[in-house]
Structure 1
C-alpha cells in the first residue's frame, strides 16, 4: 500500500505485475475501492504493469470536504499518473471511473493511449436523479440503498452467493461524505460533446443485467469514438469484473492484444 501526497488530497494506490511492463491503470466505481479488480488481475497477461487507486473519499484515500467536481476527480488521476511518471497507459474506468477516463483522455492524451469504458456513460442519469439520491442517503444512510444497489451491481447468480455480503459491507462502510461528493460529480457531468472529439483506441464493456448503466448507454457512449469496439457480458450486472471476471479478463486481453499493448 502506498500513498501519493498530491497536496489537497492523498491517494492510496497499488502497483502489481511487471514493474517494467506497459502500464494499465484501473479506476473504480462509486462506493468501491481498488479491491474491485482483485479477481481480474491474475487472469490478465504477464508482462504488464497494473496501477490501481482509490478515488478521493473512497477506500484508504483522504476525504476532502465535498461536494466534488468531475474536474477535481480527473485532476486527481492526472496528478497521480504524473507523480508515478506514467505515459501511454491503457486506462480502464468503470462507472464513474469511466467518466474520469473520458475526462483524462480529453485533457491529457500524452498519458492515455487507449481507453476501456466499462459500465459507464458520457452522461449517467440526470442532475435531479443524483440530487434526489444524495438527499435520500444524507437522510437515511448508505444502508438504506444497499439492497437496491446490489440489484444493480450484480447478476442474479452472484447475488445468491455468500460473497454478496462482502460487497454490501464495502458499500455501507464507505464514508458517506466521500460517496456523496463523488455522486455530485456524476450528476454534474455531460461528456457527450468532448468525448465525440476523441481519436484513440477504445473498448466499451457492458453487463447485460446492468441496472445502473444499461448496455445501450455504454454502446452509445463508446460509439462516439470512431473505430471503437463493444463487448457485452451476459449474466453480469454493473460490476462484471466481480461477477464475471473470466469473461472480463478475456475482453481486456483481446483488446490489449489488438492494440499492441502486450
Structure 2
C-alpha cells in the first residue's frame, strides 16, 4: 500500500511505473480503486498506471470535499509522481474529476475515457435527499436502491457473491465522504469547461445505467469534437466491474492513439 499527504489530506494510491503514456484511473461515488483491477489486468504491459482513493473513500482521509478539491488532489498526486500528458479514465464522479482536471491542468492531460458520467449529474433535490438520508440513517439504508442503479438486472441476479462484496464496499464508505461527494456533484456543472476540451476522448455508457443513462453520456460526447461514443449492453453504471474487457478496449484504443 502507498500513502502520501498532499493538500493536507493523506491519500491512498497504487502506482506501477513504466514507460510510455501514463494511465490514470478515477473511481465513482461509494467505491475505491479496486473497481479497476480487471481493467488494469487487460492493459498493455509496461504502461505506467495510477489509481487512487479520493478523499472520504477507501483508505484516504476524510476531509472537506468540493469538486475543485477532488481535482486538485488528483493533480497533486500526479505532480508528486512526476506524471504528465496522461490518459485519464474516470467513471461517474471520477469522469467529472477527469473533465475538471483536463480543463484546469492541460499539461497533465493527453486523452480521456469518460464512463457513465456527464457534465452535470442529477439535480439538487435528489442529491439533497440522498445527503439527508446518509446523515440520518446511514448508507446501508440506501444500499439496495444504489445497487439497482450500479448494476444491470443480470448482474444482480447471477453474481450474488460479487453483489454482496460491492455492497460491503459501498456501506463501509465513510458517511462524511459519501455525503461530501454527493454535495460536490450537486454543486458542479462542467458544461462550459468541457466544451472547450480538444483532447482525444472516448465516452462509454451502460445500456442499463439508471444513474447516468446513455442519453446523458451522448450529450457529453457531443461537447468534445471528435469524441467516440459507445453503449455497452448488459451494463449498468460501473463498466469497470460489469464489462472490464470492453472498458479496457476503450482505454487501449485512446492509449494507442497517444503513443
**Which SS does the other structure have where 1:98 is aligned?**
helix
Quick one: which of 105, 109, 131 aligns to 2:106? Answer: 109
CA RMSD of the aligned region, Å?
Answer: 1.1
**Which SS does the other structure have where 1:203 is aligned?**
strand
| Partner residue in 1 for 2:6 | 6
**Which SS does the other structure have where 2:184 is aligned?**
helix
Q: Unpaired runs of 5+ in structure 2?
A: none
Deviation digits for residues 33-68 of structure 1, max 9, x if unmatched?
01010111111112211100000010011111x4x2
Deviation digits for residues 182-238 of structure 1, max 9, x if unmatched?
111000000111111111111101110011110110110121011111111100000
Counterpart Cα distance in 2 of 1:127 and 1:9: 27
Deviation of residue 100 (structure 1)? 0.4
TM-score of the pair, normalised by structure 2? 0.96
Q: Is the 8 A contact 1:3 1:11 kept in 2?
A: yes
Deviation of residue 255 (structure 1)? 2.5
Deviation digits for residues 223-261 of structure 1, max 9, x if unmatched?
10111111111000000110111222122222322x133
Quick one: which of 70, 75, 84 aligns to 1:87? Answer: 84
**Which SS does the other structure have where 2:8 is aligned?**
coil
Counterpart Cα distance in 1 of 2:254 and 2:152: 24
TM-score of the pair, normalised by structure 1? 0.95
Deviation digits for residues 69-92 of structure 1, max 9, x if unmatched?
111111111111111111100000
Q: Is the 8 A contact 2:111 2:258 kept in 1?
A: no
Counterpart Cα distance in 1 of 2:153 and 2:248: 20
Counterpart Cα distance in 1 of 2:125 and 2:100: 22
1:211 matched to 2:210? The reply is: yes
After superposition, residues 140-151 of structure 1 pair within 5 angstroms as: 140-151=137-148
Q: Unpaired runs of 5+ in structure 1?
A: none
**Which SS does the other structure have where 2:106 is aligned?**
coil
Counterpart Cα distance in 1 of 2:6 and 2:253: 34
Pick the structure with more helix per residue: 2
Deviation digits for residues 100-156 of structure 1, max 9, x if unmatched?
001110001100011111110000011221111101121111011101111111112
Count of residue correspondences: 257
Deviation digits for residues 159-180 of structure 1, max 9, x if unmatched?
1212110000100011110111
Q: Is the 8 A contact 1:22 1:47 kept in 2?
A: no
Quick one: which of 95, 99, 109 aligns to 1:98? Answer: 95
Quick one: which of 135, 139, 142 aligns to 2:136? Answer: 139
Deviation of residue 21 (structure 1)? 3.6
Counterpart Cα distance in 2 of 1:214 and 1:111: 29
Q: Is the 8 A contact 2:150 2:236 kept in 1?
A: yes
After superposition, residues 114-125 of structure 1 pair within 5 angstroms as: 114-125=111-122
